[in-house]
């Protein structure tokens, strides 16, 4: 089992920044991947950014150049730095953990709300 605890969501004005954190605990092994997904009201959950334990990253086209995913393997923590936020970034953001980097997520966090509004 793996537990994921997210933090850092909130209300921010357009053009502002937020940093999300997700700490993983439990049976953590090498070769994993962690990611951030988001789900806006009435929409499907979508991948925002993903990073393997080796540091390979992948981003949704909509956030490239604005968001940066990073991780601290010693702390089993993944971060999402979000800059130049737009109202369309408003969603519940979920952290995920894949036991093996090439598989879909096996575990999910509880989600954290990000609201971009003036």
Q: Is the pLDDT of residue 102 over 90?
A: no
Contact predicate 35/50, CB 8 Å: yes
- The pLDDT, as a whole number, for residue 57 is 97
Q: Is the pLDDT of residue 39 over 90?
A: yes
Pick from 89, 114, 107: nearest CA to 3: 107
| Rounded mean pLDDT, 36-51 | 97
- The pLDDT, as a whole number, for residue 46 is 97
**pLDDT tens digits, one per residue of 45-82:** 999 999 999 999 999 999 999 999 999 999 999 999 99
Please provide the size of the chain in residues: 118
Average pLDDT value over all residues in the chain: 95
The rounded distance, in Å, linking the Cα atoms of 6 and 111 is: 7
Specify the DSSP element, H or E, that contains 67: strand 67-72
Compute the C-alpha angle 46/80/68, nearest 5°. Answer: 95
């Amino acid at each position: 089992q793996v537990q994921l605890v997210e933090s850092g969501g909130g209300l921010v004005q357009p053009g502002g920044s937020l940093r999300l954190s997700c700490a993983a605990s439990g049976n953590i092994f090498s070769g994993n991947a962690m990611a951030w997904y988001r789900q806006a009201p009435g929409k499907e959950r979508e991948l925002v950014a993903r990073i393997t334990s080796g540091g390979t990253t992948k981003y949704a086209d909509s956030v490239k150049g604005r968001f940066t995913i990073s991780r601290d393997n010693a702390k089993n923590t993944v971060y999402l730095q979000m800059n130049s936020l737009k109202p369309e970034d408003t969603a519940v953001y979920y952290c995920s953990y894949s036991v093996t980097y090439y598989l879909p997520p096996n575990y999910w966090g509880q989600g954290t709300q990000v609201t971009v509004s003036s």
